[in-house]
Amino acid sequence: MSMADMREPIESGCPDGFQYMHPTMRRNFGQWKYHDDPQPGVLRHVAYNGDEVYTVKAGTQRILDVFTLRTLCDIGDKFADGYIRFTIRSNIEYIVDDQAKVEPLVKALTDAGFIVGGTRNSVTSLSHTQGWLHCDIPGTDASGVVKSMMDELIGEFTAWDMPNRVHMTTSCCQINCGGQGDIAINVQHTKPPKIDHNLVSNVCERPSVVARCPVAAIRPAMVNGKPSLEVDEKKCICCGACFPPCPPMQINDAEHSKLAIWIGGNHSNARGKPTFQKLVASGIPNNPPRWPEATAIVKRILKEYKAGAKDWERINEWVERIGWPRFFEVTGLPFTKYHVDNWRGARASLNASTHIRF
Amino acid sequence: MADKHYPTPMLDELENGPWPSFISGIKRLRDDHPDERIRKVTDSLLGQLEHSYETRKGYWKGGTVSVFGYGGGIIPRFSEVGDAFPESKEFHTLRVQPTPANYYTTDMLRKLGDSWEKWGSGLQTFHGQTGNIMFIGTTTENTQHFFDEINEYGWDLGGAGPCVRTAMSCVGAARCEMSCANEHAIHRHLVNNFTDDVHRPALPYKFKFKVSGCPNDCQNSIERSDFAVIGTWRDDMKVDQEEIKAYVAKKGRQYIIDNVTTRCPTQALTLNDDDTLTVDNHNCVRCMHCLNVMPRALHPGDDRGVTILIGGKRTLKIGDLMGTVVVPFKKLETEEDYESLVELAEEIIDFWAENGLEHERCGEMIERIGLVNFLEGIGVEVDPNMVNNPRQSSYVRMDGWDEEAEKWFARQAEKASA
C-alpha cells in the first residue's frame, strides 16, 4: 500500500466517559452523600437528592474471550441497565438504579459462573499482567497463578471476614507490573543471566545494556572473537534488568527462577502514610500449572492476619503493631540474612532503639 | 469432524476449580468459533502456552509494529517457537485508551468485541496495569485494520514505550461520596494535552498520570505514577452530629473509641460524653480513616482542591519510589486553574525530557539531582509540606541563607495579603 492510501489517525486521545455512564451517576456527579453495603459484592450509593445506585461487583477470568464478553453484556442487558465499568483490579461492576434488580443480577452472574464479591473487607482479585501468555520477559504465568490462587481464596472474595481489605498482586518479573500489594507474589531470579555470545552484538545496543544494570556488573567484552557483554557474577543481583533490552542475556530459568512473597504494600493514606511491600518468603518453586507451594504460604499469612489483626488494620499495620519477630513466629516462615536490606539507604530499616517485644 | 488440537494436559488443570477459567475461555474460541482463523490462532496460542508451562519459559519477543502516523501504542509479539506454533507466530496487542474510570455501555462493549473478532484473536482484557484495554493477538497487517475501524468510532491508542502513558483515575465524583475533585476533567485535561507524547515515544522513559478523588488513593497514584493528583480539602470536615450519635447507638462507645478516635493519626478526634464528635481540623491530615468508618456522619469540607505528588515508580533501576509532594494544595475550579495544572505538567515533562538520562524515570532524576534542583528547574518554591522533616545532615553550603529567608518572608506576606 502506498503512503497516499494510508488513513491518517484521528488523535482523539482519552474519550469522554459521560457518554457511557449510568444516567443516575451522570445526574448526580459530585452529589453523592454516603454509601453502605447491603451484602458482599453489592454497594449502595445515596445522593443528596435521595437518588440511589446499586453496584454489583464480580470477579472474572480477566483474559476475556469474546463469548464471555458477550455473556457479560447479555447479563447487563437483561438484568441490569446496560452500564458497566471495570475496577483497577479487573473486576466488573454493573450499575443499576433499582434495588429490585440486585438479586436477579447477582443470581444471573452466579449462574453464569462469575463470582460476586470483592467489596469491603474481602480479598479482592489479584491484579496482574500477561505472563507467558503474552509478555516478552516473563518468569511465570500470571493468569495461571491468579486462577490457582483465587480457586482457593474464593471464600475470602465472597465474604467480609478480613480485618480490612486485602489487595493482592502478582508479577512475572521484578518490573512488578502487578504493583504494590498487601500480599504480592513476584518472580525472583536466583542465578545470573546465561549469555548467548553469538547473538549479543547483533541484537543488543551494548552501552545501553551496561547502563541498565543497577549494580554496574555488566561490561563490554570480546568473547570468542565477537563483541559481547560479560557479567561479574559476584556482583550480579539477578534482577533481570538487562534482559528486556538484550534478550540474549537469558535470565529466566526453569529451575532457578523462583517466586518470592512480599507483604504490606498499602496505597492508602488512611491512618498511616502509604507503604511499600516487604520481603517475607522466597525460594518458592515456580510450579505450574497450579503453584501449590505459593498458595499455601499466602493462605498461612492470611490465616494469621485474620486471626491477629484488629478491625481496619491492613496487613502492614497489623505487622507494625505486633512486630516483625512475631510475624515470623506466627507464620512459621524463616527469617534469613536476605530479609535485611543492605543498600545505601538500608539504615532506615534497621532497629536503632531498644524497642523489642518479649 | 472435530479439528485436531495441540494437546494441553497442564493447561487443562486450570479448568478445574470455581474461579472463572481463562483457559476454558480460550478453548471455547478454539472449539466453537465460526471463523476458522480464530479457531486456528487460539489453538496455536494454547499450544505455545502449554509449551511454556512444560518448560517454564516465555517464548515471545518484541519488535517494531505501529500504525500509520504513530510510533507506539502496539505491543509487538513475535513467537520464538513460531515454527512449532505457526498460526499465532505474530500475536500483537493493541493498547487502547478507555474513558476515565473505565465506563462502557453494553452496546459499546459488543461493538468493540465485534471489531476485534473481525481483525484479531477474540481475546481482550479490561484492563492492563497501565490502564489500557488490551486487545490481545493479531498480525501486523490486521493491527492497522482494527485500529482504523475503532478509531473511526471514538477510540485511540494508548502509550507504550518511552512516552506519556495512558492515564488512570478512580470512579470518584461519579459514584463516591469521598471525592473532592473532578477526576474525569483532571484526567482528560492532562493526558489529552499530551496526545503527541502518547503516540510518538520520544521521552527518557515512561511517564504516568494517575488521579484519585481523595487520599484513600484507590488508583495507587503515589506508588505508581510519575504525576499523582489527589483530591483533598482545606476547610473543616463536615460532621453530622445526629449521625454520629446514631453510629454510637448502633455500634457502642467502645467501638467508636477503638475504631475511630484512637485510630486518628494526629489525635484530632474526641468523642464527647454526649456522643458528639469534636474535630481538631487544624491538625487533621485528611487521612480519610474516620470518614471511611462513618460515611454517613463525616464528609469532606467545601473548600476542595488537589495535592500533587511527583516521581512515584516501581523497582527498576534504583528501587521503589513514592511520589512526593510538589504542590500541597491547588484549587481546580476555573478553566484557568486547569490550564495552570496542565502547564505544570508541561513544565515537569519538559524539564525531565531535557535532564533525564535514557531510561530514567522522573522520580529517579529527582533522586539524582535533588528535590531542590528539580523545584528550581520547574519554577516551584520550597514548602515545608514537601518534607517529613528538615535536613539532618550539616554537610551543605548555606551562604545564600539570608536571601532565601527573605524569599520565605516575602511569600508569607504575599499569602497574608491575598
B187 CB within 8 Å of a chain A CB: yes
In degrees rounded to 5, what are phi and psi of residue A354? -100, 20
By the 8 A CB rule, do A271 and B289 touch?
yes
Interatomic CA distance for residues A171 and A98, integer angstroms: 39
Rg (Cα) of chain A, in Å, rounded? 24
By the 8 A CB rule, do A218 and A230 touch?
yes
A113 CB within 8 Å of a chain B CB: yes
Tell me the chain B residues in contact with residue A15 when contact means C-beta distances shorter than 8 Å.
97-99, 154-156
Domains annotated for chain A, with CATH where assigned, are: 18-116 (3.30.70.3340), 131-190+254-339 (3.30.413.10), 194-250 (3.30.70.20)
Closest of A113, A124, A133 to residue B20, by C-alpha: A113
B387 CB within 8 Å of a chain A CB: no
| Residues of A (182-201) whose Cβ lies below 8 Å from B | none
B142 CB within 8 Å of a chain A CB: no
| Residues of A (22-51) whose Cβ lies below 8 Å from B | 25-26, 29-30, 32-36, 45
Residues of chain A with pLDDT > 90, as a percent, come to 94
pLDDT of residue B3: 67
By the 8 A CB rule, do B332 and B186 touch?
yes
Interatomic CA distance for residues B191 and B326, integer angstroms: 19
What are the tens digits of pLDDT across the range A138-173?
999 999 999 999 999 999 999 999 999 999 999 999
By the 8 A CB rule, do B140 and B123 touch?
no
Question: How far A217 CA lies from chain B's nearest CA (Å)?
Answer: 13
Please state which CATH class domain B238-299 belongs to: alpha beta
Q: CA-CA distances (angstroms) from residue B295 to A49, A166, B74? A: 17, 20, 42
Chain B residue with CA closest to A257: the answer is B56
Q: CA-CA distances (angstroms) from residue B385 to A125, B67, B303, B388, B403? A: 35, 45, 19, 8, 21
Contact pairs from chain A to chain B, CB under 8 Å: 353
Determine whether the interchain pair B223/A276 forms a contact, defined as Cβ–Cβ distance below 8 Å.
yes
Low-confidence ranges of chain B (pLDDT < 50): 1
What are the tens digits of pLDDT across the range A83-94?
999 999 999 999
Q: Residue A341 class from Cβ within 10 Å (0-12 exposed, 13-18 middle, 19+ buried)?
A: middle
B102 CB within 8 Å of a chain A CB: yes
The three-state secondary structure class of B75 is strand
Determine whether the interchain pair A83/B199 forms a contact, defined as Cβ–Cβ distance below 8 Å.
no
What are the tens digits of pLDDT across the range B339-357?
999 999 999 999 999 999 9
Answer whether CATH 3.30.70.2500 is correct for domain B1-160: yes
Name the E strands within B171-223. Answer: 209-212
The DSSP code for A121 is: S
B309 CB within 8 Å of a chain A CB: no
What are the tens digits of pLDDT across the range A322-340?
999 999 999 999 999 999 9
Determine whether the interchain pair A32/B173 forms a contact, defined as Cβ–Cβ distance below 8 Å.
yes
What are the tens digits of pLDDT across the range A53-66?
999 999 999 999 99
What crossing angle do the helices spanning A292-308 and A142-157 adopt, rounded to 10°?
30
pLDDT of residue A129: 86
Determine whether the interchain pair A12/B156 forms a contact, defined as Cβ–Cβ distance below 8 Å.
yes
B340 CB within 8 Å of a chain A CB: no
Grid-cell match 520520544, residue found:
B202
By the 8 A CB rule, do A173 and A240 touch?
yes
User: Pairing state of beta strands A52-59 and A115-116?
Assistant: antiparallel
Determine whether the interchain pair B56/A174 forms a contact, defined as Cβ–Cβ distance below 8 Å.
no
Interatomic CA distance for residues A91 and A70, integer angstroms: 16
pLDDT of residue B164: 98
Tell me the chain A residues in contact with residue B319 when contact means C-beta distances shorter than 8 Å.
343, 345
| Residues of A (212-271) whose Cβ lies below 8 Å from B | 212, 214, 239, 241, 247, 252-254, 257, 265, 267-271
| Residues of B (166-185) whose Cβ lies below 8 Å from A | 166-168, 170-171, 173-177, 179, 182, 184
In degrees rounded to 5, what are phi and psi of residue A186? -125, 150
First and final CA of chain A: distance in angstroms? Answer: 76
Question: Could you give the residue range(s) of every CATH 3.30.70.2500 domain in chain B?
Answer: 1-160
Question: Could you give the residue range(s) of every CATH 3.30.413.10 domain in chain B?
Answer: 168-230+306-393
Determine whether the interchain pair A252/B288 forms a contact, defined as Cβ–Cβ distance below 8 Å.
no
Q: CA-CA distances (angstroms) from residue B130 to A89, B72, B96, B218? A: 11, 14, 11, 14
Q: Categorize the per-residue pLDDT at A109 as very low, low, confident or very high, splitting at 50, 70 and 90.
A: very high
CA dihedral (B211, B214, B220, B221) positive or negative: positive
Chain A residue with CA closest to B52: the answer is A132
In degrees rounded to 5, what are phi and psi of residue B50? -60, -40
pLDDT of residue A1: 55
Question: Could you give the residue range(s) of every CATH 3.30.70.20 domain in chain B?
Answer: 238-299
Q: Has residue A5 got a pLDDT over 90?
A: no
Interatomic CA distance for residues A229 and A220, integer angstroms: 4
Interface test with B, best of A16, A69, A71, A95 (most B CBs within 10 A): A69
Closest of A350, A259, A268, A266 to residue A316, by C-alpha: A266
What are the tens digits of pLDDT across the range A280-305?
999 999 999 999 999 999 999 999 99
Rg (Cα) of chain B, in Å, rounded? 26
Determine whether the interchain pair B293/A257 forms a contact, defined as Cβ–Cβ distance below 8 Å.
no
What are the tens digits of pLDDT across the range A206-237?
999 999 999 999 999 999 999 999 999 999 99
Quote the cell numbers at residue B412: 508569607
Tell me the chain B residues in contact with residue A137 when contact means C-beta distances shorter than 8 Å.
58
Q: CA-CA distances (angstroms) from residue B225 to A105, B228, B284, B369? A: 35, 6, 25, 19
Q: What's the rounded mean pLDDT across residues A115-119?
A: 98
Tell me the chain B residues in contact with residue A35 when contact means C-beta distances shorter than 8 Å.
176-177, 295
Global pTM reads 0.97
Grid-cell match 489483626, residue found:
A309
Q: Cis before residue A248, ω within 30 degrees of 0?
A: no
pLDDT of residue A345: 83
Q: Cα torsion for B47, B50, B55, B61, to the nearest 10°?
A: 60
Chain A residue with CA closest to B78: the answer is A136
**Buried residues in A130-165 as b, exposed as e (16+ CB within 10 A):** bbbbbbbbbbbbbbbbbbbbbbbbbebbbeeebbbb
CATH number of the domain at B168-230+306-393, please?
A: 3.30.413.10
pLDDT of residue B1: 42
What are the tens digits of pLDDT across the range A260-279?
999 999 999 999 999 999 99
Chain A residue with CA closest to B13: the answer is A289
What are the tens digits of pLDDT across the range B240-287?
999 999 999 999 999 999 999 999 999 999 999 999 999 999 999 999
Neighbours of B400 (CB within 10 A): 9
User: Pairing state of beta strands A257-263 and A278-284?
Assistant: antiparallel
Interatomic CA distance for residues B172 and B306, integer angstroms: 13
Interface test with B, best of A14, A111, A121 (most B CBs within 10 A): A14
